[in-house]
Structure 1
Amino acid sequence: MRHLLLTTALLGGLATPALAQRAGTYAVEGQGADGSRYEGSVTLAPLGQDTWRVTWRVGSDSAQGIGILIPQGPLLVVGYTMGGETGVAAYAVQADGRLLGTWTQGQGGGIGTEVMTPGGGTGGAPGK
């Protein structure tokens, strides 16, 4: 049990600063459940300890979300709304700062994927 607590504490201590240092704008590239590809930008802004405001801009579309960092992954899990629909995304936080994600949205469901890369991005085909 002590080993599990120590491991959890170490992972938590490493994951939070890594993501905190990467608050800002990310380039995003993804693929919807229907196979359509898109690109744009995402902004991550800290709200508190392990909580984030996430804003996507893809073409003329935008989405707003709130996320929590789960240090044991580390994972960033985000609930969001876009065009009146609710969605959820989960991102594996990589050591190089990239976020590798899987998402679903709306009643039709389906699974999309996306990659966020620190450093910006613009425009692209609509669709998350």
Structure 2
Amino acid sequence: MPQADRAVMRIGDHLFLHAWQTLRAASQPGPEASRWRVGAVTWRRTRLNQSCVDFSMVQDAYALEHPGPGAPWGLLVVMETWWDSGHRVIRSQVWATHLSGSKTALQDWIRNEAKQAERVG
């Protein structure tokens, strides 16, 4: 992949998060799945939720780990949504951070797998 293409998508930017969301939607076996694999990459999802009379919140944390072959890497993506008492979304955000290993290998893998998912889907 040419260096210029890599510079366009950075971990956590909207292009990266869109590619990641495409891949997650295509690969997650079901809405309650907490662990699955895509190739050599292990996905783990942890859900936190809280509610009270005035609001509720759900936070899904996705930890991805690629141990090899090739360059190992780790990624954390968090999806968080808050609702008011009328079930109207009052805040929604997604963010990502590189945890370990090769950023370039991570970006390439997300980009390539998302493109494959789009072709299949």
* TM-score where L is the length of structure 1: 0.37
Which is richer in helix? 2
Which is richer in strand? 1
